[in-house]
Structure 1
Amino acid sequence: IPRDGAIAALRRFCQKYSVNGKIGNLKVETIIKLACVVLDTNTFAYKDKYYRQIKGGAMGSPFTMVLANIYMLEWEQKLLQHQHQHHEIYGRYIDDVFMTTNLTKEEILEQLNETIKTDPNIKITITINQALEYLDASVENIFCMSF
């Protein structure tokens, strides 16, 4: 995720959920400054040389995971709204998304491609099928009619 985009998303998230400009005891601006420190001072050593990471965040860092989830929450809003309006399922765990739909394959591909275009930093692979693996589950669409 891009640093500036992530910080902007974090700011909007904090402002939306703050009470009197604070999350708990911290001012929103303090949270933003601390986030910048974490992202801007991410260093590592390799073969006796020090490097600074200039894009993204440290893999496995709890803060980076939260920041990525906040960033993705903004990105997926149109999909979430569509799924809610049509009483469909939408679930995301980190970078795996599962959706149900009654749209045609062409309609859902159009909707997904429109969403993908909104952020070139997010790369997704689309799998549309009657059955698929999601996390540790096998999911299959079985059409049943009751009489």
Structure 2
Amino acid sequence: QGYLNSTTLFIVFDVTDLYTMIPRDGAIAALTRFCEKNAIHGKIGTLQISTVIQLACVVLDTNSFAYKDKYYRQIKGGAMGSPFTMVLANIYMLEWEQKLIQHQNINHGIYGRYIDDVFMTSNLSKEEILKLLDETTQTDSNIKITTTISQTLDYLDVTIENNNGNLKTCIYHKSASEPYILPYSSDH
């Protein structure tokens, strides 16, 4: 309905090291607020909120790894590949991104996030977009982003283009993935 015009810009940003940058106390606070907001009769499923928080603390406080014959305890973030770390990172990001989501709703822009990859549209100038993103990242010193702003860009596995107000998309193949993608004709 006229939200994509010939000057609409696409924005993609990646949150740097999302899983390992989450501060323990900030993550627990975000999880607590999330549970309180979504609990039914003080429970998440069959667990009391306090039990969920205690279990989260156990997971975060017992992350350890070995490197060069030494053991280390991870004091910031969560273990890479852990399903719980992904859930916690998503909850942490959900709080952080609220200002951007509200801005996009007011300005009829699109906002979407897949874990640490964000896609937005905007009819602001590039300078105004950068200012908005800078203000948003300043709300949490743990979150650092790498941003691309253009009328044509790649997001996940799609190339997205604003062609004079007309949306064009095509499949995007990351060059680093090419040797590992089986051809369609493969018997595998």
- Output the TM-score relative to the length of structure 1: 0.94
Higher mean C-alpha deviation, range 82-91 or range 53-62: 82-91
Identity across matched positions, percent: 74
Aligned residues: 145
- Residue number in structure 2 paired with 1:106: 127
1:119 Cα deviation from its structure 2 partner: 0.6
Write out aligned runs for 1:28-39 (5 A): 28-39=49-60
Amino acid at match of 1:81: Q
- Write the distance in 1 (CA, Å) between the matches of 2:66 and 2:147: 36
- Residue number in structure 1 paired with 2:109: 88
- Write the distance in 2 (CA, Å) between the matches of 1:25 and 1:53: 30
- Residue number in structure 2 paired with 1:75: 96
1:87 Cα deviation from its structure 2 partner: 1.8
1:47 Cα deviation from its structure 2 partner: 3.9
Amino acid at match of 2:102: Q
Structure 1 or 2: more strand by fraction: 2
* Matched position secondary structure for 1:60: coil
- Write the distance in 1 (CA, Å) between the matches of 2:75 and 2:165: 52
Structure 1 or 2: more helix by fraction: 1
Q: 1:71 to 1:141 in 2, by over 3 A?
A: same
**2:62 aligned with 1:41:** yes
- Write the distance in 2 (CA, Å) between the matches of 1:4 and 1:36: 9
Query: What per-residue deviation string (whole Å, max 9, x for no partner) do you get for residues 36-84 of structure 1?
Result: 0000011123344322111111001000000000000000000001111
Query: What per-residue deviation string (whole Å, max 9, x for no partner) do you get for residues 5-50 of structure 1?
Result: 0000000000000011101100001000000000001112334432
- Residue number in structure 2 paired with 1:125: 146
* Matched position secondary structure for 2:118: strand
1:144 Cα deviation from its structure 2 partner: 4.1
1:142 Cα deviation from its structure 2 partner: 1.4
- Write the distance in 1 (CA, Å) between the matches of 2:144 and 2:128: 20
Which structure is richer in relative contact order (CA contacts within 8 A, separation 6 or more)? 2
- Residue number in structure 2 paired with 1:3: 24
* Matched position secondary structure for 1:128: strand
- Residue number in structure 1 paired with 2:84: 63
Amino acid at match of 1:95: D
Runs of 4+ in 1 over 4 A off after TM superposition: none
* Matched position secondary structure for 1:56: coil
* Matched position secondary structure for 1:126: strand
1:130 Cα deviation from its structure 2 partner: 1.0
* Matched position secondary structure for 1:127: strand
**2:72 aligned with 1:51:** yes
- Output the TM-score relative to the length of structure 2: 0.74
